[in-house]
């Protein structure tokens, strides 16, 4: 690989301080050849070779494990003055390849761009999180820490038993006063950990008009529920189909977490199709499962349905990661697919969702319908 830069590249590297991308590992083969690895098996690994044989490549990268300017490298003897042009050209090339960074760059944004190949900055994206409970609050916090540009949360629930919420939320205890709003508490906390624009709506998660307003102002919606809330998910599905808004379903059910599917109206199966296929797959315990779901819909099982905080942490991390990959590069790994974690059995299942020809929810909205379907 030839590392000769353009004149514009050389000019950009005069007095800045640079360091090696902290997400990468450099394997030194010689002073003129390196292997760039993210991990032992990472597909992003590649080789870099100085075809000119200047012996600058290896010594410079070893010196830039901490931020240093090019003048420092020359004055300290890492590179001789006679090789200044080679040094400038090398640094310009390594910056373009994102092997080197300028000091002060956001390291999370660097990872999204250099490792995941992100095409859009998360700071330009608006996301809504419906459900500000133990699960939704974790997803919202993960998105803020990833650098989302704007986030709005919605929930009408309030703290009833602060001794439980203090154990299950990751929010400061001082916010969890009896009667205080989940959504407002979460928004207050999020404003302290990031620079994103954060808003809160005190509406029920199944309020269709509130969901319409949320979808209209968001690039994507996450619907997070501490129980498999069929009624609320169907309300979200109806609004998303109407407005064409992508959304991700995430739910807990005791010791089980379901992450996904990601729904793209007009391109993927809708929530109604997912639920029909999820119910039909419970062939061994279908009657028991349906009885349980009906009892949940009526509220017979009570309002509190707790999962361990560590379970919610894992589900939230997976949900935020999948959504982030979709937002920065369109890689919808959960499109038409859900991941089901059973923490009691420590098992993981992937469920594929098919589009149904006569789905009453989304079939009437499809651009093309076969006469016989």
6 pLDDT more than 60: no
Using CA atoms, how far apart are residues 183 and 180, in angstroms rounded to an integer? 9
Tell me, yes or no, whether 87 and 142 share the same domain: no
Determine the average pLDDT of the residues in 198-218. Answer: 95
Q: What is the mean pLDDT of the chain?
A: 88
Whether 78 is covered by a domain: the verdict is yes
pLDDT at 16: 87
Q: Residue 92: give its domain's CATH number.
A: 3.90.930.70
Of 177, 34, 175, 159, nearest in space to 97 by CA: 34
Phi, psi for 252 (deg, rounded to 5)? -115, 150
Tell me, yes or no, whether 140 and 96 share the same domain: no
**Domain with 298 in it:** 122-365
Tell me, yes or no, whether 176 and 45 share the same domain: no
Buried-state track 225-249, b at ≥16 Cβ within 10 A, e below 16: bbbbbbebbbbbbbbbbeeebbbbb
Whether 112 is covered by a domain: the verdict is no
Q: Which residue has the higher pLDDT, 61 or 120?
A: 61
Tell me, yes or no, whether 222 and 92 share the same domain: no
Query: Tell me: the pLDDT tens digits for 306-315?
Result: 889 999 999 9
142 pLDDT more than 90: yes
Whether 267 is covered by a domain: the verdict is yes
Tell me, yes or no, whether 19 and 133 share the same domain: no
Whether 265 is covered by a domain: the verdict is yes
Tell me, yes or no, whether 158 and 266 share the same domain: yes
Tell me, yes or no, whether 135 and 51 share the same domain: no
Whether 114 is covered by a domain: the verdict is no
Tell me, yes or no, whether 226 and 360 share the same domain: yes
Of 2, 5, 1, nearest in space to 89 by CA: 5
Tell me, yes or no, whether 134 and 33 share the same domain: no
Determine the average pLDDT of the residues in 14-26. Answer: 88
Q: Which residue has the higher pLDDT, 207 or 370?
A: 207
Last residue of a domain, one of 60, 78, 105: 105
Whether 113 is covered by a domain: the verdict is no
Tell me, yes or no, whether 329 and 236 share the same domain: yes
DSSP letters for 290-346: HHHHHHHHHTTT-S-----HHHHHHHHHHHHHHHHHHHHH---TTBTEEEEEETTTT
Tell me, yes or no, whether 189 and 133 share the same domain: yes
pLDDT at 284: 67
pLDDT at 14: 56
335 pLDDT more than 70: yes
Using CA atoms, how far apart are residues 357 and 28, in angstroms rounded to an integer? 57
Using CA atoms, how far apart are residues 2 and 70, in angstroms rounded to an integer? 21
Q: Which residue has the higher pLDDT, 362 or 264?
A: 264
Assign 371 a pLDDT band (cuts: 50, 70, 90).
low
Q: Which residue has the higher pLDDT, 290 or 112?
A: 112
Domain count, the chain: 2
Query: Tell me: the pLDDT tens digits for 237-291?
Result: 999 999 999 999 999 998 999 999 999 998 899 999 998 888 887 766 767 777 7
Whether 370 is covered by a domain: the verdict is no
Tell me, yes or no, whether 83 and 132 share the same domain: no
pLDDT at 3: 55
129 pLDDT more than 90: yes
Q: Residue 174: give its domain's CATH number.
A: 3.40.50.720
Q: How many residues does the chain have?
A: 373
297 pLDDT more than 60: yes
Whether 290 is covered by a domain: the verdict is yes
């Amino acid at each position: 690989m030839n590392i000769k830069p353009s004149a514009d590249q050389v000019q950009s590297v005069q007095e800045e301080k640079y360091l090696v991308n902290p997400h990468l590992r450099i394997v030194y083969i010689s002073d003129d050849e390196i292997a760039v690895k993210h991990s032992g098996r990472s597909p992003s690994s590649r080789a870099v070779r100085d075809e000119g044989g200047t012996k600058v490549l290896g010594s410079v990268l070893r010196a830039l494990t901490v931020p240093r300017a090019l003048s420092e490298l020359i004055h300290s003897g890492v590179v001789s003055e006679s090789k200044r042009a080679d040094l400038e050209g090398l640094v310009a090339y390594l910056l373009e390849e994102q092997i080197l960074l300028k000091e002060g760059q956001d390291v999370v944004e660097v990872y999204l761009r250099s490792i995941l190949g992100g095409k859009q900055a998360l700071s330009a994206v608006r996301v809504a999180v419906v459900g500000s409970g133990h699960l939704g609050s974790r997803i919202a916090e993960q998105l803020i820490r990833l650098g989302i540009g704007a986030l709005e949360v919605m929930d009408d629930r309030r703290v009833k038993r602060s001794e439980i919420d203090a154990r299950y939320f990751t929010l400061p205890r001082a916010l969890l006063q009896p009667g205080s709003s989940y959504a407002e508490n979460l928004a207050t906390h999020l404003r302290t950990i990031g620079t994103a624009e954060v808003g809160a709506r005190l509406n029920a998660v199944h309020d269709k008009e509130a969901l319409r307003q949320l979808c209209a102002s968001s690039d994507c919606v996450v619907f997070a529920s501490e129980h498999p809330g069929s009624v609320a998910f169907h309300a979200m599905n109806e609004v998303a189909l109407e407005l064409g808004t992508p959304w991700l379903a995430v739910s807990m059910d005791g010791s089980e977490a379901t992450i996904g599917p990601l729904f793209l109206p007009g391109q993927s199966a809708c929530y109604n199709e997912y639920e029909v296929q999820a119910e039909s797959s419970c062939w061994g315990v279908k009657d028991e499962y349906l009885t349980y779901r009906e009892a949940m819909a009526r509220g017979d099982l009570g309002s509190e349905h707790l999962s361990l905080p560590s379970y919610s942490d894992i589900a939230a991390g997976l949900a935020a990661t999948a959504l982030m990959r979709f937002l920065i590069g369109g890689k919808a790994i959960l499109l038409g697919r859900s991941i089901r974690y059973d923490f009691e059995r420590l098992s993981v299942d992937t469920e594929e969702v098919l589009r149904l020809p006569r789905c009453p929810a989304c079939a009437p909205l499809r651009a093309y319908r076969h006469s016989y379907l």
